[in-house]
Amino acid sequence: MSGNAGVPAPRATSPSYGPCVLLKHGEIFLKGHNRHCFTERLHDNLRVALRGIGGSTWIKTAQNVTVLGGQVPQEALVERARRVIGFNSVEPAQRVPSTLEEITRAAVEALRTLSAERPGRGFAVRVKRRDKQFPLTSSRMAAHLGARVLEELPGLHVDLTRPDITLAVEIDRKETYLSWTRYPGLTGLPVGSSGRALVLLSGGYDSPVAAHRAMRRGLSCEFVHFSGAPYTNPASVYKAYALARELNRSQPPGRLHVIALGKAQKQLAVAGAGRLQVVAQRRLMVRTASALAARTGAQALVTGDSLGQVASQTLANLVAVDEASALPILRPLIGWEKQEIIDEARSIGTAEISTLPDEDCCRLLAPPRASTRAGLPQLRAVEKRLDLDEVTAALLDNVQVMLPGEDADAAPEVSPGCPAPTPA
Ligand code: ATP
Ligand code: MG
């Protein structure tokens, strides 16, 4: 496994004392001899997330922890780091030399400031020694710091069960980190560590959540969206663009491929697909997506299917769709309920975009009662009336490619009615 090719290293300063951010590693701590490959990938992704932050930064690794700092505001570092998949938590921290005097001074100062800012006077100090050479054990160090704080700040009291303020002190050989705020990270495996996938991205709630789950299992994702053009308006493309841009905040940006399916959908209808129309369209989508994946190097397709959610997602219909795909189809949401998917869409920031109105290609030519048990012989009979290779080649000849979020700060807000996104 190698790092992301072409990731320019941000201008690095050397680690200095003062504000920094502690990033606790997620699942990669379970890895064995190849853990360093995962860590390298995680750091590459972090560097991509730091692009354009407006100042020099540095990254340093301790045991299962990454330390991030630089000549930019600490809040900006926190905001960027929270987008990166692979960290369990993101903690703004103070970095001081690992001497008893410096740690004590910093702990007292931190509690002086925190107690002035926050209500409640009960505090706890939790100490972790990653360097066992440090002269005091963790519990003796915690007791020492607690006692010194009480001497200096008599209005406070120790409360180890329900503290108002918890000061975490992590001691390494040369430096020590003090932190008191912990933001949850996106957890999972670093994007790219499991390979590449092509996500079939429609405008609903499901496929963006599926993409995010795939990314959290280490897949670097590109996206393909099928529009009903020329028979539908471009709103679904704007939505797909906005969704991909939101998803790209959590990975080195992946391209969005837009394919106008309308004419091919008409061909299937003319060929007599009838109640099989939706499944026949899905088969054409995965066939075309597999051919596109062969060009882009993706090893699997990802969809937002959830078993039994709608007629096209009965087991029989999913099996019929699988049969048309040259690549495995990963369905991270197969066992999820709709409400769980909507809740997750809200938490990853895609729900609002998914609720925007559009003209989805699947509703175009959809039969009043779709078949829930599309038989392969009947589907093949319909498909035989078309030259599938020719249809697929024509679809791929006219694919439009964009890179949503490459310059996220400069990208326009996308909503129905805005100007079309610019191609990559
Ligand atoms: P969602 O995309 O949230 O599932 P939906 O419920 O309208 O919206 P379904 O009919 O459930 O879509 O489609 C199942 C899956 O098929 C989608 O999750 C997506 O992966 C894929 N898909 C459907 N329509 C499209 C499309 N127009 N472009 C790309 N992929 C699509
Ligand atoms: Mg769905």
Is 267 marked as binding a ligand?
no
pLDDT over 90 at 418, yes or no? no
Q: Is 130 exposed, middle or buried (0-12, 13-18, 19+ CB in 10 A)?
A: middle
pLDDT at 12: 53
Is 358 near ligand 1, meaning CB less than 6 Å away?
no
Residue 362 Cα to ligand 1 midpoint, Å, equals 8
Residues 338, 346: Cα–Cα separation, whole Å? 12
Is 312 near ligand 1, meaning CB less than 6 Å away?
yes
Model confidence over 86-103: pLDDT tens digits? 999 999 999 999 999 999
Model confidence over 124-156: pLDDT tens digits? 999 999 888 999 999 999 999 999 999 999 999
Q: pTM of the full predicted structure?
A: 0.90
Is 283 near ligand 1, meaning CB less than 6 Å away?
no
Q: Is the CATH number 3.40.50.150 carried by domain 18-184? A: no
Is 361 near ligand 1, meaning CB less than 6 Å away?
yes
Is 225 marked as binding a ligand?
yes
CATH topology identical between 18-184 and 195-402: no
Model confidence over 217-250: pLDDT tens digits? 999 999 999 999 999 999 999 999 999 999 999 9
Least confident of 1-5, 7-11, 388-392: 1-5
Query: Is pLDDT larger for residue 143 or for residue 35?
Result: 143
pLDDT at 238: 97
Q: What are the residue ranges spanned by the domains of the chain?
A: 18-184, 195-402
pLDDT at 9: 46
Query: Is pLDDT larger for residue 324 or for residue 408?
Result: 324
Residue 172 Cα to ligand 2 midpoint, Å, equals 48
pLDDT over 80 at 395, yes or no? yes
Residue nearest to atom 23 of ligand 1 (CA): 202
Confidence at 27, pLDDT banded by 50, 70, 90: confident
In CATH terms, the superfamily for domain 195-402 is: HUPs (3.40.50.620)
Ligand number nearest to the C-alpha of 204: 1
C-alpha distances out from residue 290 to 197, 224, 301, Å? 10, 11, 7
Model confidence over 166-209: pLDDT tens digits? 999 999 999 999 999 999 999 999 999 999 999 999 999 999 99
Q: For 402, phi and psi rounded to 5 degrees?
A: -130, 165
Average pLDDT along the chain: 90
pLDDT at 312: 81
Q: Per-residue b/e over 85-104, b at no fewer than 16 CB within 10 Å?
A: bbbbbbbbbbbbebeeeebb
pLDDT at 47: 96
pLDDT at 14: 66
